[in-house]
């Protein structure tokens, strides 16, 4: 592991950045542990305090970023929306999965869905058509060691297949909709996830080529996989 100080989204992150798939926060924890063995006793408290402050800043930035994603998701959700189709929701899901991982992406999708249901009169499709894809997108991204296309495929599978099948009993039995069948929402969900996934893929690949994606991930304390792009961006 290489020691260093790098700048990510205006936040100075001290410590050690591990190999591919290691989060910045884990690197800070390692640095904190190593500092106790490599520094004079008088310097240990100061270094420990610096590292703890950086971890706290990272957590704060993570919460701010999550709130921003929720706000954007709510605001742009009416774009191209018809019942059963909300392409912009899938754009948010995939972006959040890549930046923050499956659990934060799931939380973001749940918060957006609840807000849309409470204040915009959207049926439970706001949840069933988002939460499965959000989580599976993040899982596929992590499992593939950072392949953006796998995050897109995870969203398509999670929402287009699983979400659409779950939506049928929710809408038919809980909401009393008639004339539905098990695959009623599948074509619409697949179309919406494909549209949103294409936009997300183009957006995230552009960030990746510019070396910005890994900077965002590092600032958020998420796992990073693009070591080459990170090194190039840091050198610039």
Instruction: Give pLDDT tens digits along the chain (236 positions).
Output: 443 434 343 444 444 444 555 565 565 555 545 555 555 545 566 677 777 787 888 888 999 999 999 999 999 888 777 766 788 999 999 999 999 999 999 999 999 999 999 998 888 989 999 999 999 999 999 999 999 999 999 999 999 999 999 999 999 888 888 888 889 999 999 999 999 999 999 999 999 999 999 998 988 888 888 655 444 444 43
| Measured distance CA(50)–CA(48) in Å, rounded | 5
Number of domains in the chain: 1
CA distances from 229 to 18, 92, 209, 211, 213 (A): 15, 23, 7, 5, 9
Alpha helices in 24-173 (DSSP H): 24-38, 44-76, 87-100, 102-119, 125-128, 131-143, 148-155, 164-169
The predicted pLDDT at position 6 comes to: 41
Owning domain of residue 231? 2-235
Q: Which residues contact 45 (CB under 8 A, 6 or more apart)?
A: none
CA dihedral 34, 3, 6, 98 (to 10 degrees): -80
The predicted pLDDT at position 25 comes to: 59
The predicted pLDDT at position 221 comes to: 86
Q: Which residues contact 138 (CB under 8 A, 6 or more apart)?
A: 96, 97, 98, 100, 101, 102, 103, 104, 105, 106, 151, 154
The predicted pLDDT at position 236 comes to: 39
Asked if 150 and 200 count as a contact pair (C-beta separation under 8 A), the reply is: no
CA dihedral 147, 207, 66, 121 (to 10 degrees): -90
The predicted pLDDT at position 33 comes to: 56
Local structure of residue 23 (DSSP, 8 states): B
pTM: 0.76
Strands 11-17, 2-8: pairing kind = antiparallel
The predicted pLDDT at position 55 comes to: 80
| Measured distance CA(224)–CA(13) in Å, rounded | 14
The predicted pLDDT at position 46 comes to: 65
Tokens standing for residue 200: 């997300």
């Amino acid at each position: 592991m290489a020691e260093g100080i790098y700048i990510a989204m205006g936040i100075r992150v001290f410590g050690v950045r591990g190999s591919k798939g290691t989060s910045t926060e884990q690197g800070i924890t390692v640095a904190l542990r190593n500092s106790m063995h490599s520094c004079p006793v008088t310097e240990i408290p100061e270094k420990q305090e610096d590292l703890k402050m950086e971890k706290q800043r990272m957590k704060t930035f993570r919460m701010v970023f999550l709130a921003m994603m929720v706000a954007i998701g709510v605001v742009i959700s009416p774009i191209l929306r018809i019942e059963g189709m909300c392409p912009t929701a899938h754009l948010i899901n995939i972006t959040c999965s890549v930046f923050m991982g499956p659990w934060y992406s799931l939380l973001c999708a749940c918060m957006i869905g609840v807000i849309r249901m409470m204040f915009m009169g959207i049926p439970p499709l706001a949840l069933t058509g988002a939460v499965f894809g959000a989580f599976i997108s993040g899982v596929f991204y992590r499992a593939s060691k950072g392949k953006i296309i796998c995050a897109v495929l995870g969203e398509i599978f999670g929402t287009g297949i699983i979400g659409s099948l779950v939506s049928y009993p929710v809408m038919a039995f809980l909401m009393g909709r008639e004339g539905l069948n098990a695959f009623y929402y599948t074509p619409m969900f697949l179309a919406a996830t494909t549209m949103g996934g294409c936009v997300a893929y183009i957006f995230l690949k552009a960030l990746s080529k510019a070396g910005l994606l890994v900077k965002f991930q590092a600032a958020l304390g998420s796992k990073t996989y693009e070591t080459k792009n990170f090194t190039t961006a840091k050198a610039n």
